[in-house]
Each structure stands twice: as structure tokens, then as C-alpha cells.
Amino acid sequence: MAAPERFAVGIDIGGTNVKAGLVSGALAVAARADRPTEEAKGAAQLLGKIADLTKELASAAPSGSVVAGVGIGSPGFVDASLGVVSDCPGKIPGWTGTAVTEEVSSAAGLPAFLENDAKVIALGEGWAGAAKGASDYVSVTLGTGVGGGIVQGGEILQGASGTAAALGHICVDPDGPTCICGARGCLEVYVSTRAIGACAVDYIMRGVETTVLDHVEGGDLGDVDARAVFEAAAAGDAVACEVVGRTAKYLAAGLVTIAHVLDPEVIVIGGGVTKAGDLLLVPVREMATRLIWRKPGAPPVRIEFSQLGDDAGVFGGAALAFGKTSGR
Amino acid sequence: MAAPERFAVGIDIGGTNVKAGLVSGALAVAARADRPTEEAKGAAQLLGKIADLTKELASAAPSGSVVAGVGIGSPGFVDASLGVVSDCPGKIPGWTGTAVTEEVSSAAGLPAFLENDAKVIALGEGWAGAAKGASDYVSVTLGTGVGGGIVQGGEILQGASGTAAALGHICVDPDGPTCICGARGCLEVYVSTRAIGACAVDYIMRGVETTVLDHVEGGDLGDVDARAVFEAAAAGDAVACEVVGRTAKYLAAGLVTIAHVLDPEVIVIGGGVTKAGDLLLVPVREMATRLIWRKPGAPPVRIEFSQLGDDAGVFGGAALAFGKTSGR
């Protein structure tokens, strides 16, 4: 008799939606579901939604199969060994201190695991994505902010207080613009979707001619986002191309630093900024590969955009539940 | 009967001298010896000197004591598991490929261990220096170049090809001066002793009034070094103070990046640049501590100058021979 097919539930708590997927050990998503996050409504309703999603998806597993557990990626800091959110400032009232795994496990009757969302994405990339097979790799997520996960020797690198891989706060220019963290010239102030939109707005405010606003529905300056910049750049707009070029330069600088400090096999870039596609990937890869120093005979550090896209967190949650800590 | 006292030989292959020490398990240096490195004379003579130093110091151990082995720090890349120098470009003819531990062990009759010199210094700082007791820490060595060692969870972080911790090539300004590695704005082009001297020479060449040359024996422009800059700054010279200030700013930026990527308990700074003392340490510590973001309740990352000074490599070699990989 063949061993029963194994599944795990992966849950990704995003700013807008809680996304869940039932993922097989063979990397297939067998079922999906989501709920609005409604951060402002607080911890109890969010816990309830996570438990409901877990039960709903677990019950969708084929009869005779085994559901190994549920893995959850949360914003903020997580004490993974306790399954507790140790600090999640300002986002979800009451979330800090919530014993997520205990509550979800007891409500859904399945083993539950919790980790920081950016680290969960790193696990997803190692198990099912562009870092598959690698035991030393880095995942960088470029969204409204910039997060990261580092895997070394097959294990998530946590650091002394669990805050390692704050890759958005790599300093790429000590005289640069001030970051929300208080430092200057953090990677995040150049390469987040927020920074890319703001940089285009700067040009427009200074009266430089550009078609960026033509790519914004309603044409409102307050609605300029990274997507509009990428669209304008793809259509050949000079200002948008300059903004993308600036993004590429600083992103490459950050990747060079990551590569020299950590010597990974691959760096996977995910998040909204990857929607720029080859417009950004091609120059970033060219610059970073040229500038990353390698010992003679060592293969180049691979620079990849995520292929999992919005599913990286769901795959990562499932990987966490399966006890995977890397692509090995 | 008390257990016999234990010793280990630590050997530090420097550009000028091969330094050796017989170090007790209680962190006392019981005997010292050195030989000129004479790099140009090649691998065989260097191996002979290392074996001779090992035998000489092992025989100096008190009767009834035990010598656990010899630990050797070598420039270049090292395959620590094989005890072989895997790549040491240009420095010591024939050194690449040398099976150092096999040769020394057979000549001296002791277990021998080999590791890259900057990583050995990190071990020394963890065992006997400013990172004592820490299991997550970083050592940065600011000499003519800039090297580093990262210890995470009590183990040296090696990376995929053994070149992790190339901390001199953290990018602190993608538009900065070109580094010997080919990239721009590497930490090394701002904070190495070579960079500090060169920066002062730049001012002098531009005709800016400064007393830096008064601190150079013979007053020759070609002999301006970091030491002269530090002396002039201590005496209040404005140009020298500006050079030290620039060094502090970029060094702090590098430490902020290291702290955000790795989340260590302590960063230990060693090498010739630490001869600047509080003139450099005070502003660097102030800036880095202010700019390093910490999760609420986490202690600040300690920023320390090495107290082991030129002995860091000897202590590190002994730590390697004792099988210590961190201060735990």
C-alpha cells in the first residue's frame, strides 16, 4: 500500500487579506481560501479567521490523505519556539503577545507553527521557489516596505534577538534621505514601492515633463504608485526610466552587500516591485553580477525574481508546517 | 589529583612576521616566539617556520601539562575541513594548495587546525576578547584592507563558497570611489589604514593647510599613514579631524548594515585603525548605536574596540586548537 498523500495548510497574514492554501508535499495547491484581514478589528477576530481557514482547507484534503499541520506567517516579531507574536507595533490591536499556535492548534485540531512573514516567504522560496535545492540563500521582499529572510546551512538565521535579515535597513548611503527607522540612506528609502512612487511624484512636483500620470486612474498625484512608474517606463517615458534606473542601482548595491556579507548561492527578490519584470531584473542582475566578488572557481550568485509571486507566503507556511527549513 | 593544565599553540601568519604563542586554557600566554614571514621565499620555508615555532613553543609547556594542538590563521581562502589553503592569490608563492595541517601535524607531532586569518581573529575575540560569552557576534579587522568574521549560534558563518564575511566590500555608496575589487564605494575604500592615509594626502595635494606631515618622519608625502593622521587629529589639526570624521561616518554606516543584517550581540573592531582610540571609537559608537534599530526590549548592539590588539590572531589560533568556536 502506498503511503498516504501528505498536505499542509499555509497561511499568509497580509495587510489586506489573510490568504490560505492547502499544499501537497508534491508542491501542488489543492485548495485556496481567503478572508479580509481587517487589522483594525483586532486579534480575536483575526485568530478566528485563521482557525476557520485552517479547518476549511484541512477538510478539503482528499480522503485517506494526511494533513501535517498549519504554518502561519505573521507581520511583526515572532517567537517561533513559543508560537507567540512577541511584537507587532501598531498594526493589529492586541496581536502582540497572542499565543497564535496554541489557539489555532486547539481550535483546528492540527499542529500549528508560527514565524515572521518575511522569513516564511524565504522558506517558501527554498522549498518550492527560485531557491529550491539551495541551503544558503537570501530572500528579499520589496513591497511598501522591504523585508528579508536569510537561510544559512539550511536554517533560518535569527540573530541574537530574532531580528536578523532587516535587509530594508542596509545603509546604501550615509548621506541619503531619512528612513522611518531614523537612519539615513536605508535600502528601503530607494527600492520600496512607496519610494518608487514618491520618487516619480518628486519629478512631477518639480515640473519635469513625464507621462507617469497618464498611467494613474483619475490622474491624481496622490495615486502615483510603483505600478504606474513601471508602466510609463515600459512605454519609454524618460522620467520613469530614470526612476527605474535609480531603483536598479540601489537595489544592486544592496544585493552586492548581501552577497559579500553572506555568500549565498541565490538571492530571490519578491514583492510588488518584481512586477517591473525584466525592465528592473535585467539591469539589477547585470550590475550585481558584475560587482559581486567571487573566489576563483566559485559559481556566480544567482539573482532571481520570485516565480511564486503572491503564493510565496502560502507555500512558505506549508513548508513551515512540513518542517522544511530549506530546499535541501 | 588535579587534571593536567592544558595549552595550545596559536599561530598568526602576518605580512611581516609569523607570530606564535603558547596559550593556556586559562587565557594566559605562557610563551611567545616569532619569525619573519618572508612571503617572497615561498611556501616551503613558511611551512618550516610554522613547524619550528610549534615545536619550540610546545616544548616550553610546563612538564606534566598537555598541549592540545596548534591552530593556524592564514591569509587567503582556507578549506578548514581539509586543512588546505584553497586560494591565496599572489602573496606567498606556492601557498595555494598547501596541505598545512598535514605537514605541520606530522612535523610537530600535534593535531593541527587551519582557518582564514580574519575568522581566526573572530574566534580569538569570542574566546578571550571583547565578544567573550557571546554566541552571535561579528569581528571587523581594519588594517591595510578590511576583513571580517561572523559567528552565529556559536559557529563561524562560512557561506556557500566559504567567502562569507567579506565585510570590507559592504557597499556604503554606489557612487563612491572605485575599490580594488572593481565595485564602487566599498567600506574598505573609506576605513582601511590605506584609505585614511590616502584621504589626508588628497587634502595636502590640493594645498589645504594641515600639520599632518609634521607627524611623518622625514616629512615625505609617500609616508603619510593612518597613524600620522590620528596623531595630527589628537593634536587638533582640522584636516586630520575631518578625515577621522569621514572614517567614523562610513564605519558607522558599515556597522549599521552589519547589525541590521545579522543582529549580533557585539561587534568587535580590531586592526591598526583602532590605534585612533577614543577619537574614533566615541563617534562611531555614538552614531552606530543611535542608528541601529532594535526591537523593543532588546539590548543595544555593543560596539567595542579589540582589547587583544596584535594578540587576537594568537588567541584565535589557540581557540581553534582547543576546539572553541565561540565564547560560549
CATH 3.60.20.30 fits B132-307, yes or no: no
Mean pLDDT of the A35-43 span: 95
pLDDT of residue A1: 65
Residue B128 has pLDDT above 80, yes or no: yes
Q: Per the CB < 8 Å rule, is B261 touching A261?
A: yes
pLDDT in tens, B244-264: 999 999 999 999 999 999 999
Per-chain mean pLDDT for chain A: 95
Q: Per the CB < 8 Å rule, is A261 touching B136?
A: no
What's the CATH fold of domain A133-306?
Nucleotidyltransferase; domain 5 (3.30.420)
Residue of A nearest to B147 (CA): A261
Quick check: A294 contacting B, CB < 8 Å? Answer: yes
> Do the domains at A6-126+312-321 and A133-306 have one common CATH topology?
yes
Mean pLDDT of the A145-169 span: 95
Residue A328 has pLDDT above 60, yes or no: no
**How many Å apart are CA A190 and CA B124, to the nearest integer?**
38
Could you give phi then psi for residue B117, rounded to 5 degrees?
A: -60, -40
Q: Which of A183-197, B43-57, B85-99, B140-154 has the lowest mean pLDDT?
A: B85-99
Residue of B nearest to A264 (CA): B160
pLDDT in tens, A267-300: 999 999 999 999 999 999 999 999 999 988 999 9
Residues 6+ apart with CB under 8 A from A304: A130, A131, A266, A267, A268, A269
C-alpha cell at B287: 552614531
Q: For residue B67, what is the DSSP state?
A: E
Residues facing residue B70 across a β-bridge = B9, B112
Residue B324 has pLDDT above 80, yes or no: no
In this prediction the pTM is 0.95
**How many Å apart are CA A117 and CA B248, to the nearest integer?**
35
- A75 pLDDT band, cuts 50/70/90, is very high
Residue B233 has pLDDT above 50, yes or no: yes
C-alpha cell at A272: 510588488
Q: How many residues does chain B have?
A: 328
Find residues 14-73 of chain A whose CB sits inside 8 Å of chain B.
Answer: none
Q: Which of B52-56, B150-154, B199-203, B248-252 has the lowest mean pLDDT?
A: B150-154
Closest CB to B152 among A157, A161, A182: A157
Q: How far is CA A268 from CA A192, A231, A271, A303, B112, in A?
A: 15, 23, 10, 6, 39
Residue ranges of domains in chain B: 6-126+312-321, 132-307
**How many Å apart are CA A97 and CA A76, to the nearest integer?**
11
- Residue A170 amino acid letter: I
Which of A161, A179, A180, A294 should be substituted to probe chain B, the one whose Cβ sees the most B Cβ atoms within 10 Å?
A: A161
Helices and strands (H, E) in chain B, number of each type: 9, 12
Instruction: Choose among B286, B287, B52, B68: nearest CA to A171.
Output: B287
Q: Per the CB < 8 Å rule, is A257 touching B171?
A: yes
pLDDT of residue B91: 78
Mean pLDDT of the A146-170 span: 95
At residue B316, the 3 state secondary structure works out as helix
> How far is Cα of residue A73 from the mean position of the Cα atoms in its chain?
10
Complex ipTM value: 0.94
Q: Tell how strand B6-13 and strand B17-24 pair up.
A: antiparallel
Closest CB to A173 among B173, B263, B294: B173
Quick check: B173 contacting A, CB < 8 Å? Answer: yes
pLDDT of residue B327: 44
Instruction: Choose among A157, A171, A149, A84: nearest CA to A312.
Output: A149
Looking at per-residue pLDDT, the higher value among B3 and A299 belongs to A299
Residues facing residue B24 across a β-bridge = B7
Instruction: Choose among B191, B150, B174: nearest CA to A255.
Output: B174
Report the run of H or E that residue B44 belongs to, with start and end.
Answer: helix B43-58
pLDDT in tens, A222-269: 999 999 999 999 999 999 999 999 999 999 999 999 999 999 999 999
Residue A208 has pLDDT above 60, yes or no: yes
Please state the three-class secondary structure of chain A as a single string.
CCCCCEEEEEEEECCCEEEEEEEECCCCEEEEEEEECCHHHCHHHHHHHHHHHHHHHHCCCCCCCEEEEEEEEECCEEECCCCEEEECCCCCCCCCCCCHHHHHHHHHCCCEEEEEHHHHHHHHHHHHCCCCCCCCEEEEEECCCEEEEEEECCEECCCCCCCCCCHHHCECCCCCCECCCCCECECHHHHCHHHHHHHHHHHHHCCCCCCHHHHCHHHCHHHCCHHHHHHHHHCCCHHHHHHHHHHHHHHHHHHHHHHHHHCCCEEEEECHHHHHCHHHHHHHHHHHHHHCCCCCCCCCCEEEECCCHHHHHHHHHHHHHCCCCCCC
Q: Per the CB < 8 Å rule, is A181 touching B264?
A: no
pLDDT in tens, B156-176: 999 999 999 999 999 999 999
At residue B82, the 3 state secondary structure works out as coil
pLDDT of residue B5: 94
Please state the three-class secondary structure of B246-279 as a single string.
HHHHHHHHHHHHHHHHHCCCEEEEECHHHHHCHH
- B contacts of A261 (beta carbons < 8 Å): 150, 164-167, 170, 257-258, 261-262
Q: What is the longest distance spanned by two Cα atoms in chain A? A: 72
- A327 pLDDT band, cuts 50/70/90, is very low
pLDDT in tens, A23-32: 999 999 999 9
Instruction: Choose among B97, B95, B51, B138: nearest CA to B327.
Output: B138
pLDDT of residue B325: 59
CATH, range B6-126+312-321 = 3.30.420.40
- B contacts of A262 (beta carbons < 8 Å): 157, 159, 164, 261
Mean pLDDT of the B198-202 span: 97
**How many Å apart are CA A301 and CA B166, to the nearest integer?**
14
**How many Å apart are CA B98 and CA B26, to the nearest integer?**
32
Per-chain mean pLDDT for chain B: 95
Q: Identify whether the C-beta of residue B194 lies closer than 8 Å to the C-beta of residue B204.
A: no
pLDDT of residue A325: 59
Q: Identify whether the C-beta of residue A198 lies closer than 8 Å to the C-beta of residue A177.
A: no
Quick check: B90 contacting A, CB < 8 Å? Answer: no
Residue A176 has pLDDT above 50, yes or no: yes
**How many Å apart are CA B12 and CA B136, to the nearest integer?**
24
- Residue B93 amino acid letter: P
At residue B231, the 3 state secondary structure works out as helix
